[in-house]
Structure 1
Protein backbone atom coordinates (compact mmCIF):
# COMPACT_ATOMS: atom_id res chain seq x y z
CA UNK A 1 0.00 0.00 0.00
CA UNK A 2 2.86 2.40 0.83
CA UNK A 3 4.38 1.86 -2.64
CA UNK A 4 1.05 2.81 -4.25
CA UNK A 5 0.85 6.03 -2.21
CA UNK A 6 4.46 6.89 -3.10
CA UNK A 7 3.71 6.40 -6.81
CA UNK A 8 0.62 8.61 -6.62
CA UNK A 9 2.62 11.34 -4.87
CA UNK A 10 5.34 11.18 -7.55
CA UNK A 11 2.73 11.50 -10.30
CA UNK A 12 1.15 14.49 -8.61
CA UNK A 13 4.49 16.28 -8.42
CA UNK A 14 5.10 15.86 -12.15
CA UNK A 15 1.93 17.60 -13.23
CA UNK A 16 2.53 21.20 -14.25
CA UNK A 17 0.84 23.88 -12.22
CA UNK A 18 -1.69 25.81 -14.25
CA UNK A 19 -1.14 29.54 -14.08
CA UNK A 20 -4.08 31.90 -14.13
CA UNK A 21 -3.42 35.24 -15.84
CA UNK A 22 -5.85 38.07 -15.33
CA UNK A 23 -7.29 39.88 -18.30
CA UNK A 24 -5.72 43.32 -18.39
CA UNK A 25 -8.01 45.03 -20.85
CA UNK A 26 -7.60 48.70 -21.67
CA UNK A 27 -10.29 50.67 -19.78
CA UNK A 28 -9.88 53.57 -22.20
CA UNK A 29 -11.17 51.35 -25.00
CA UNK A 30 -14.05 49.91 -22.97
CA UNK A 31 -15.37 53.08 -21.31
CA UNK A 32 -16.82 56.15 -22.98
CA UNK A 33 -14.96 59.47 -22.68
CA UNK A 34 -17.39 60.59 -19.97
CA UNK A 35 -16.99 57.28 -18.13
CA UNK A 36 -13.20 57.68 -18.16
CA UNK A 37 -13.54 61.22 -16.80
CA UNK A 38 -15.86 60.05 -14.01
CA UNK A 39 -13.57 57.20 -13.00
CA UNK A 40 -10.13 58.83 -13.37
CA UNK A 41 -10.93 62.60 -13.31
CA UNK A 42 -9.07 63.13 -16.59
CA UNK A 43 -10.07 62.96 -20.23
CA UNK A 44 -8.57 60.12 -22.31
CA UNK A 45 -6.36 62.61 -24.20
CA UNK A 46 -4.90 63.89 -20.94
CA UNK A 47 -4.26 60.35 -19.70
CA UNK A 48 -2.42 59.54 -22.93
CA UNK A 49 -0.36 62.73 -22.45
CA UNK A 50 0.58 61.69 -18.89
CA UNK A 51 1.54 58.21 -20.12
CA UNK A 52 3.71 59.82 -22.81
CA UNK A 53 5.51 61.92 -20.21
CA UNK A 54 6.34 59.02 -17.87
CA UNK A 55 6.50 56.19 -20.44
CA UNK A 56 10.31 55.83 -20.41
CA UNK A 57 10.33 55.71 -16.60
CA UNK A 58 7.67 52.99 -16.42
CA UNK A 59 8.45 50.79 -19.41
CA UNK A 60 10.56 47.71 -18.71
CA UNK A 61 13.14 46.44 -21.21
CA UNK A 62 11.91 42.85 -20.92
CA UNK A 63 8.48 41.29 -20.67
CA UNK A 64 9.59 38.87 -17.98
CA UNK A 65 6.92 37.99 -15.41
CA UNK A 66 4.27 39.97 -17.31
CA UNK A 67 4.99 43.51 -16.05
CA UNK A 68 2.15 45.99 -15.71
CA UNK A 69 1.99 48.10 -18.90
CA UNK A 70 2.62 51.86 -18.48
CA UNK A 71 -0.97 52.80 -19.39
CA UNK A 72 -2.44 50.45 -16.79
CA UNK A 73 0.14 51.66 -14.26
CA UNK A 74 -0.90 55.27 -14.76
CA UNK A 75 -4.61 54.41 -14.60
CA UNK A 76 -4.14 52.46 -11.37
CA UNK A 77 -2.16 55.30 -9.80
CA UNK A 78 -4.64 57.96 -10.97
CA UNK A 79 -7.51 56.04 -9.43
CA UNK A 80 -5.58 55.73 -6.18
CA UNK A 81 -4.78 59.47 -6.20
CA UNK A 82 -8.43 60.28 -6.84
CA UNK A 83 -10.08 58.00 -4.32
CA UNK A 84 -7.35 57.05 -1.86
CA UNK A 85 -8.95 53.60 -1.80
CA UNK A 86 -7.36 50.47 -0.41
CA UNK A 87 -5.04 48.39 -2.59
CA UNK A 88 -7.44 45.45 -2.48
CA UNK A 89 -10.10 47.46 -4.27
CA UNK A 90 -7.65 48.51 -6.99
CA UNK A 91 -6.61 44.87 -7.31
CA UNK A 92 -10.19 43.88 -8.09
CA UNK A 93 -10.75 46.76 -10.51
CA UNK A 94 -7.59 46.51 -12.60
CA UNK A 95 -6.70 42.81 -12.33
CA UNK A 96 -3.26 43.49 -10.82
CA UNK A 97 -1.94 41.81 -7.70
CA UNK A 98 -1.93 43.67 -4.40
CA UNK A 99 1.87 43.85 -4.28
CA UNK A 100 1.96 45.13 -7.86
CA UNK A 101 -0.53 47.89 -7.02
CA UNK A 102 1.81 49.18 -4.33
CA UNK A 103 4.82 49.06 -6.65
CA UNK A 104 2.88 50.71 -9.48
CA UNK A 105 1.72 53.60 -7.28
CA UNK A 106 5.27 54.10 -6.03
CA UNK A 107 6.80 54.02 -9.53
CA UNK A 108 4.20 56.36 -11.07
CA UNK A 109 4.54 58.82 -8.18
CA UNK A 110 8.33 58.85 -8.54
CA UNK A 111 8.07 59.29 -12.32
CA UNK A 112 5.62 62.18 -11.98
CA UNK A 113 7.84 63.85 -9.38
CA UNK A 114 10.86 63.57 -11.70
CA UNK A 115 8.92 65.46 -14.39
CA UNK A 116 7.17 68.05 -12.22
CA UNK A 117 9.69 70.77 -13.11
CA UNK A 118 8.24 70.73 -16.64
CA UNK A 119 4.76 71.71 -15.43
CA UNK A 120 5.05 73.45 -12.05
CA UNK A 121 6.60 76.90 -11.92
CA UNK A 122 7.06 79.06 -8.85
CA UNK A 123 7.21 82.80 -9.36
CA UNK A 124 8.53 85.38 -6.95
CA UNK A 125 6.91 88.78 -6.75
Structure 2
Protein backbone atom coordinates (compact mmCIF):
# COMPACT_ATOMS: atom_id res chain seq x y z
CA UNK A 1 0.00 0.00 0.00
CA UNK A 2 1.37 3.37 -0.99
CA UNK A 3 1.33 5.84 1.95
CA UNK A 4 2.59 8.79 -0.05
CA UNK A 5 0.14 11.63 -0.39
CA UNK A 6 -1.26 12.12 -3.81
CA UNK A 7 -0.30 15.48 -5.16
CA UNK A 8 -3.08 17.58 -6.54
CA UNK A 9 -3.00 18.09 -10.28
CA UNK A 10 -1.73 21.51 -11.24
CA UNK A 11 -4.45 23.73 -12.60
CA UNK A 12 -3.80 26.80 -14.58
CA UNK A 13 -4.73 29.94 -12.71
CA UNK A 14 -7.38 31.94 -14.53
CA UNK A 15 -7.92 35.65 -14.10
CA UNK A 16 -11.26 37.23 -14.79
CA UNK A 17 -11.36 39.83 -17.49
CA UNK A 18 -11.35 43.22 -15.80
CA UNK A 19 -13.01 45.60 -18.18
CA UNK A 20 -12.81 49.33 -17.62
CA UNK A 21 -16.43 50.53 -17.19
CA UNK A 22 -15.58 53.69 -19.15
CA UNK A 23 -15.12 51.51 -22.23
CA UNK A 24 -18.72 50.33 -22.39
CA UNK A 25 -20.92 52.51 -20.14
CA UNK A 26 -22.89 55.52 -21.36
CA UNK A 27 -22.31 58.95 -19.80
CA UNK A 28 -25.56 58.63 -17.85
CA UNK A 29 -24.61 55.21 -16.46
CA UNK A 30 -21.19 56.49 -15.40
CA UNK A 31 -22.64 59.41 -13.46
CA UNK A 32 -25.30 57.19 -11.89
CA UNK A 33 -22.82 54.53 -10.73
CA UNK A 34 -19.70 56.58 -10.02
CA UNK A 35 -21.07 60.09 -9.28
CA UNK A 36 -18.51 61.75 -11.57
CA UNK A 37 -18.54 62.44 -15.28
CA UNK A 38 -16.15 60.75 -17.71
CA UNK A 39 -13.79 63.75 -18.00
CA UNK A 40 -13.43 64.11 -14.21
CA UNK A 41 -12.60 60.41 -13.87
CA UNK A 42 -9.93 60.70 -16.57
CA UNK A 43 -8.48 63.68 -14.69
CA UNK A 44 -8.26 61.56 -11.53
CA UNK A 45 -6.45 58.80 -13.46
CA UNK A 46 -3.86 61.27 -14.66
CA UNK A 47 -3.30 62.87 -11.27
CA UNK A 48 -2.90 59.54 -9.47
CA UNK A 49 -0.96 57.68 -12.16
CA UNK A 50 2.51 58.09 -10.63
CA UNK A 51 1.41 57.42 -7.05
CA UNK A 52 -0.77 54.35 -7.67
CA UNK A 53 1.06 52.55 -10.45
CA UNK A 54 2.48 49.38 -8.95
CA UNK A 55 6.03 48.33 -9.79
CA UNK A 56 5.39 44.62 -10.24
CA UNK A 57 6.11 41.96 -12.83
CA UNK A 58 2.79 40.22 -12.18
CA UNK A 59 0.47 40.24 -15.12
CA UNK A 60 -2.57 40.46 -12.85
CA UNK A 61 -1.84 43.75 -11.05
CA UNK A 62 -4.66 46.29 -11.11
CA UNK A 63 -4.34 49.26 -13.42
CA UNK A 64 -4.63 52.75 -11.96
CA UNK A 65 -7.84 53.29 -13.90
CA UNK A 66 -9.45 50.18 -12.40
CA UNK A 67 -8.31 51.12 -8.89
CA UNK A 68 -9.92 54.54 -9.25
CA UNK A 69 -13.15 53.10 -10.68
CA UNK A 70 -13.42 50.56 -7.86
CA UNK A 71 -13.02 53.25 -5.21
CA UNK A 72 -15.43 55.67 -6.87
CA UNK A 73 -18.07 52.91 -6.98
CA UNK A 74 -17.42 52.17 -3.31
CA UNK A 75 -17.78 55.87 -2.39
CA UNK A 76 -20.89 56.32 -4.54
CA UNK A 77 -22.79 53.24 -3.39
CA UNK A 78 -21.62 52.68 0.18
CA UNK A 79 -21.99 48.99 -0.59
CA UNK A 80 -20.03 46.07 0.85
CA UNK A 81 -16.54 45.52 -0.51
CA UNK A 82 -17.37 42.02 -1.72
CA UNK A 83 -20.26 43.43 -3.79
CA UNK A 84 -17.96 46.07 -5.32
CA UNK A 85 -15.38 43.35 -5.99
CA UNK A 86 -17.92 41.15 -7.76
CA UNK A 87 -18.98 44.08 -9.96
CA UNK A 88 -15.38 44.68 -11.07
CA UNK A 89 -14.05 41.12 -11.15
CA UNK A 90 -11.66 41.46 -8.19
CA UNK A 91 -11.47 40.07 -4.65
CA UNK A 92 -12.77 41.78 -1.54
CA UNK A 93 -9.16 42.16 -0.34
CA UNK A 94 -8.24 43.90 -3.61
CA UNK A 95 -11.10 46.36 -3.10
CA UNK A 96 -9.88 47.04 0.44
CA UNK A 97 -6.34 47.73 -0.79
CA UNK A 98 -7.67 50.05 -3.53
CA UNK A 99 -9.85 52.02 -1.09
CA UNK A 100 -6.89 52.43 1.25
CA UNK A 101 -4.44 53.53 -1.48
CA UNK A 102 -6.76 55.89 -3.37
CA UNK A 103 -8.17 57.46 -0.18
CA UNK A 104 -4.66 58.14 1.13
CA UNK A 105 -3.72 59.69 -2.20
CA UNK A 106 -6.77 61.99 -2.17
CA UNK A 107 -6.30 63.13 1.43
CA UNK A 108 -2.57 63.60 0.91
CA UNK A 109 -3.27 65.96 -1.99
CA UNK A 110 -6.41 67.59 -0.61
CA UNK A 111 -5.19 71.13 -1.34
CA UNK A 112 -5.23 70.28 -5.03
CA UNK A 113 -8.95 69.52 -4.92
CA UNK A 114 -10.40 71.86 -2.28
CA UNK A 115 -9.66 75.57 -2.45
CA UNK A 116 -11.56 78.11 -0.42
CA UNK A 117 -11.60 81.49 -2.22
CA UNK A 118 -8.98 83.87 -0.84
CA UNK A 119 -8.56 86.56 -3.49
CA UNK A 120 -11.08 89.39 -3.67
CA UNK A 121 -11.78 88.59 -7.33
CA UNK A 122 -12.68 84.95 -6.55
CA UNK A 123 -14.84 86.01 -3.63
CA UNK A 124 -16.72 88.55 -5.74
CA UNK A 125 -17.32 86.00 -8.52
CA UNK A 126 -18.75 83.46 -6.06
CA UNK A 127 -20.98 86.07 -4.44
CA UNK A 128 -22.30 87.10 -7.86
CA UNK A 129 -22.99 83.47 -8.75
CA UNK A 130 -24.92 82.90 -5.51
CA UNK A 131 -26.85 86.12 -6.07
CA UNK A 132 -27.84 84.91 -9.54
CA UNK A 133 -29.32 81.74 -8.06
CA UNK A 134 -31.83 83.34 -5.70
CA UNK A 135 -30.81 86.96 -5.13
CA UNK A 136 -29.26 86.17 -1.78
CA UNK A 137 -26.42 88.68 -1.21
CA UNK A 138 -22.88 88.28 0.16
CA UNK A 139 -22.73 84.46 0.16
CA UNK A 140 -19.33 82.74 -0.13
CA UNK A 141 -20.54 79.21 0.46
CA UNK A 142 -23.29 76.88 1.57
CA UNK A 143 -22.32 74.95 4.70
CA UNK A 144 -23.69 71.79 6.27
CA UNK A 145 -22.59 68.86 8.36
CA UNK A 146 -23.20 65.15 8.26
CA UNK A 147 -22.37 62.12 10.35
CA UNK A 148 -20.24 59.38 8.81
CA UNK A 149 -20.35 56.02 10.56
CA UNK A 150 -16.89 54.57 11.30
CA UNK A 151 -15.35 51.53 12.94
CA UNK A 152 -14.58 51.96 16.63
CA UNK A 153 -11.16 53.66 16.96
CA UNK A 154 -8.53 51.93 19.09
CA UNK A 155 -7.82 55.14 21.04
CA UNK A 156 -10.50 57.14 22.92
CA UNK A 157 -13.26 55.15 21.23
CA UNK A 158 -15.86 56.42 23.73
CA UNK A 159 -15.45 59.97 22.35
CA UNK A 160 -16.79 58.87 18.96
CA UNK A 161 -20.03 57.27 20.15
CA UNK A 162 -22.93 59.25 18.76
CA UNK A 163 -26.18 59.54 20.73
CA UNK A 164 -27.78 56.87 18.54
CA UNK A 165 -25.22 54.34 19.78
CA UNK A 166 -22.76 54.06 16.90
CA UNK A 167 -19.27 55.47 16.27
CA UNK A 168 -19.13 58.41 13.88
CA UNK A 169 -17.24 61.44 12.62
CA UNK A 170 -19.02 64.78 12.31
CA UNK A 171 -18.01 66.11 8.88
CA UNK A 172 -18.47 69.76 7.91
CA UNK A 173 -18.45 70.79 4.25
CA UNK A 174 -18.70 74.08 2.36
CA UNK A 175 -19.78 74.22 -1.30
CA UNK A 176 -19.70 77.05 -3.81
CA UNK A 177 -22.49 78.02 -6.20
CA UNK A 178 -21.44 75.26 -8.64
CA UNK A 179 -21.91 72.54 -5.98
CA UNK A 180 -18.15 72.03 -5.66
CA UNK A 181 -16.57 71.59 -2.25
CA UNK A 182 -14.29 74.42 -1.22
CA UNK A 183 -13.67 73.23 2.35
CA UNK A 184 -14.07 69.99 4.31
CA UNK A 185 -13.34 69.41 7.99
CA UNK A 186 -13.29 65.70 8.81
CA UNK A 187 -11.58 65.28 12.16
CA UNK A 188 -14.20 65.75 14.88
CA UNK A 189 -15.94 62.94 16.79
CA UNK A 190 -19.64 62.41 16.09
CA UNK A 191 -20.99 64.01 19.29
CA UNK A 192 -19.14 67.31 18.59
CA UNK A 193 -21.62 70.15 18.12
CA UNK A 194 -21.77 71.79 14.67
CA UNK A 195 -21.25 75.27 16.13
CA UNK A 196 -18.07 74.12 17.89
CA UNK A 197 -16.63 72.80 14.61
CA UNK A 198 -17.56 76.06 12.85
CA UNK A 199 -15.98 78.23 15.55
CA UNK A 200 -12.83 76.13 15.56
User: TM-score with structure 1 length normalisation?
Assistant: 0.84
After superposition, what is the alpha-carbon deviation per residue over 1:53-100, rounded to whole angstroms, capped at 9, x for unaligned?
A: 111111012232621111010011001111111011011100111111
CA deviation after TM superposition for structure 1 residue 119, in Å = 2.2
Which of 85, 92, 98 aligns to 1:98? It is 92
Distance (Å, rounded) in 1 between the aligned partners of 2:117 and 2:41: 27
> Greater share of strand residues, 1 or 2?
2
| Large movers: runs of 4+ above 3 Å | none
CA deviation after TM superposition for structure 1 residue 118, in Å = 1.3
Q: Higher relative contact order by CA 8 Å / sep ≥ 6: 1 or 2? A: 1
How many residues end up aligned between the 2 structures? 119
Distance (Å, rounded) in 1 between the aligned partners of 2:38 and 2:113: 19
Distance (Å, rounded) in 1 between the aligned partners of 2:39 and 2:66: 15
Unaligned runs of 5+ in 2: 119-200
Please, what is the CA RMSD of the aligned residues?
A: 2.0
Distance (Å, rounded) in 2 between the aligned partners of 1:65 and 1:99: 18
CA deviation after TM superposition for structure 1 residue 123, in Å = 5.3
